[in-house]
Amino acid sequence: MGRVEGKVAIVTGAASGFGAASARLLVKEGAAVVATDRNLAGVAALAREVGSGITAMAHDVTREEDWARVVADTMHLHGRLHILMNNAGVYGSGAPQDIETATLAEWRFVNGVNMDGVFLGCRAAVPAIARSGGGSIINVSSIAGIRGTSRIVAYGASKGAVRQLTKSVAQHCGRKGYRIRCNSIHPGMVRTPLGNDVLRHGFGDDDKGAAERVKNVPLGELGSVEDIAYAVLFLASDESRHITASEIVIDGGLIGAG
């Protein structure tokens, strides 16, 4: 029997990176997954690759009406919802993001996806998960949500907001008796499309950037998407039944070692 056998999950930003890896693993462990992304072709390709167990849906996480549709369609399709992985995110347009050069448009774009998208997702999913008997919300933040990020101020602020919102959602759901846990995960550098954007922005070249970043990682290597997916699986499963309002840092010891 799989670790999330019989559970239903929504995974946003599932066309690539953490979302795709997590969707694959959740299906492997018995869940039915609704994989969403603005890139419908990407999640459709994932559904074809995995086969049964995944339904692909187009989804812009910044649109309130899209969230209402995705949750309603999931409930219509499966009759229940137990897991939400708020994974969709952006790094930015590539424009400078220090406090002197970041534009209001860039700030709003990054926070609109990374922060507003998580807020809308939690708000839309909590009633459905509560009606289904409870479950787990996993919000993807970053180590950028814990430490200062002077060169990517909008991204860091958005991920810090996700960290705090997670704890507020957990507190609310616990006090309401909904049996919904809400936790955040904080990846370090991983070679995803978004991760490569960060490396190019900071170092001019993603391969050069990766070589430089790994020098500061105590475990001596960058993370993989599977490292993140297994943390998602644990938080989605009943194995983490007494864990809420917590954060899991997955960075090879980068920030913990100073």
Q: Which stretches within the chain are classed as H helix? A: 17-28, 40-50, 64-78, 104-111, 117-131, 153-176, 193-203, 206-214, 225-236
Cα separation of the two ends of the chain = 41
Indicate which residue of 91, 155, 178, 230 is catalytic. 155
What 3-state DSSP class applies to 84?
A: strand
- What's the token pair of residue 46? 């994932």
User: Does the annotation count 230 as an active-site position?
Assistant: no
3-state helix, strand, coil split of the chain in percent (to 5) is: 50, 15, 35
Pairing of strands 54-58, 135-140: unpaired
- What's the token pair of residue 69? 């549709």
Q: What is the Cα–Cα distance from 83 to 248, expressed in whole angstroms?
A: 17
Q: What is the Cα–Cα distance from 247 to 183, expressed in whole angstroms?
A: 6
Contact (CB, 8 A) for 8 and 31: yes
Provide the CA 57 distance to its chain's centre, in angstroms. Answer: 17
95 Rama sector, left if φ>0, alpha if ψ -120 to 50, beta otherwise: beta
- Active-site positions read 155
